[in-house]
Amino acid sequence: MTSLGSNKARIEVMNPVAEARPRAVMPARRLDTLNDKKIALWWNTKSHGDVALSAAAEAIGQRFKNVTFTRVTRQLDQRPGPYDEILKSGCDAVIASTGD
């Protein structure tokens, strides 16, 4: 705010909305089957996200053969991020939950 005198003020109103900058993203390659696959279950510690991942793992385990799961519990802002751990695990796919 800039003063223009003893009882007048000048206010400049700014638009707080950022411009969208869309960019193309290539989707991940889809797996033909989940049989014999290793799947990372990534939970970012939000409430009940772990419950949703357990339910997904159970449903997948009943439908497909020899599926193994590895759990990753890490928030996005933690260092190192979850991606390093998931990549090192050698998983074929990732199921993530945010659980709010």
- Interval 10-63: pLDDT, tens: 888 888 888 888 888 888 889 999 999 999 999 888 888 899 999 999 999 999
Tell me which residue of 60, 69, 62, 74 sits closest to 91, measured CA to CA.
69
Say if residues 25 and 64 touch (Cβ distance below 8 Å): no
For the chain, the domains span: 34-100
By the 10 Å C-beta count (0-12 exposed, 13-18 middle, 19+ buried), 31 is classed as exposed
- Distance, in Å, from the CA atom of 23 to the CA atom of 15, rounded to the nearest integer, reads 23
> pLDDT tens digit string along 70-92?
998 876 666 666 677 788 888 99
